Copies of this chain bind each other. A is one copy, B any other.
């Protein structure tokens, strides 16, 4: 069925298989006339290289694995695009795996990448997978952590200072005169969430008049946010500010607060700030204040570091940390000129 191999091309062109291979991989080593002759045969027979065979010989594939927590979160697709763009320049493809915050699926993807002998792996991990990544490294597959540093710093990472971001968010709320803040997010096993909360706590502690309550979720989704928002809106005593662990959650909270029947006003009654500054934040019911992260840049940089590690496996791990940035829109400040 498939059946056109280098051997067939070689026979058709009247050369040896070695020459056919050279035409494809080292054309300079082959006489121009032969190159064209072989090319012609390739086209004529519709030959397509069998990547498995090439990989087998080569030792590893031309792909890079990327495992993200949630493909539906635009932040991660932006990271993916950044990585993809950089990878393409190297002739590598990015295989995007979606762990959906499920350790079993994360594990399954790592196994897949290992079986495929990927060039390397970028991962935004759920729990602690240092051991797993060490095994990969032992097999010659480097890994770079994305959006999260490794506990013992043995792996390179590209992060954003989530503690600073969390502090930034709550300090902004405080500077807008809010004192009863609710943090909505979870699970806390996700490091980013824990860090953002820690930052929030730092800010709150620095201002004793401020209280900080934590509402935990079991997933960072619009749905989960909606549920938490409904619960808060139904309270007798409302908080005056909500800090959501990411924009998806914030959008869900916002939907619930604005539902007809509820008479909560944003930002008058409750100020709301999210995290990530996804494209949709600016287009929300009430344009959403958020903490911006350079998503594309993160993916790009992570891939860059990965390439260095491939080239030089013994280099010591690198840690790049980006600074987040506060974007103020109407959801926290009635007078804000909404940034786009």
Contact = CB atoms under 8 A, between A and B. Distances in A.
Contact of A283 (B51, B72, B140, B255): B255
A77 B81 contact: no
Given A116-B52, A340-B255, A140 B1 contact: yes
A29 interface: no
Given A46-B135, A340-B226, A283 B282 contact: no
B260 A283 contact: no
A289 to B, nearest CB: 14
B61 A71 contact: no
A222 interface: yes
B115 A51 contact: yes
Given A81-B71, A135-B46, A255-B340, A52 B284 contact: no
A96 B93 contact: no
Given A51-B117, A56-B52, A140-B2, A251 B226 contact: no
Interface of A: 1-2, 46, 48-53, 55-56, 59, 61, 71-72, 74, 77-78, 80-81, 84, 93, 95-98, 111-112, 114-117, 135, 138-140, 222, 226, 251-252, 254-255, 259-260, 279-280, 282-287, 337-338, 340
27 contacts: A1-B138, A1-B140, A2-B117, A46-B135, A51-B52, A51-B117, A52-B52, A52-B53, A52-B61, A53-B56, A71-B77, A71-B80, A71-B96, A72-B77, A72-B78, A81-B98, A222-B283, A251-B280, A255-B283, A255-B340, A259-B338, A259-B340, A280-B284, A283-B284, A284-B284, A285-B286, A285-B287
